[in-house]
């Protein structure tokens, strides 16, 4: 059995969280690049991705609070469940979009 010091585990979690936050910031704003102020697919997609990221950040904050003894276990599990549901929903939408694209590509011209 390998034991990891608590400080090393916390530092690794903090580094991973920092890297995820840096990778999550797109270099271009999808909603601004779409043009127009109406409801369009790009702005809807950008909002949904931002919602998933916000849920992930909230569950990360809750997990850190739990480690520090400031949060309730039930609240942390609820936040993690909400994040998991948001990610699963986003993956389902992605799979459906890919399926629709493949179906369009199979259509004869």
Residue 10's nearest CA partner among 69, 75, 64, 59 is 64
Return the percentage of the chain with pLDDT > 70, whole number: 64
Q: How many CB atoms lie within 10 A of CB 58?
A: 14
Q: What is the dihedral of CA 104, 101, 96, 49, to 10 degrees?
A: -150
- Contact by Cβ (8 Å): 86, 52: yes
Q: In whole angstroms, how large is the CA radius of gyration of the chain?
A: 19
Task: Indicate whether 73 pLDDT > 90.
Answer: no
**So where are the chain's domains?**
39-109
Task: Indicate whether 34 pLDDT > 50.
Answer: no
């Amino acid at each position: 059995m390998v034991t990891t010091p608590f400080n090393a585990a916390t530092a690794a979690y903090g580094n991973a969280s920092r890297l995820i936050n840096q990778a999550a910031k797109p270099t271009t704003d999808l909603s601004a690049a779409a043009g127009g102020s109406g409801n369009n697919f790009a702005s809807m997609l950008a909002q949904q991705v931002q919602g998933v990221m916000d849920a992930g950040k909230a569950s990360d904050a809750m997990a850190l609070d739990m480690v520090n003894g400031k949060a309730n276990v039930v609240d942390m599990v609820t936040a993690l469940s909400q994040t998991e549901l948001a990610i699963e929903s986003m993956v389902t939408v992605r799979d459906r979009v890919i399926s629709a694209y493949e179906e369009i590509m199979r259509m004869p011209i």
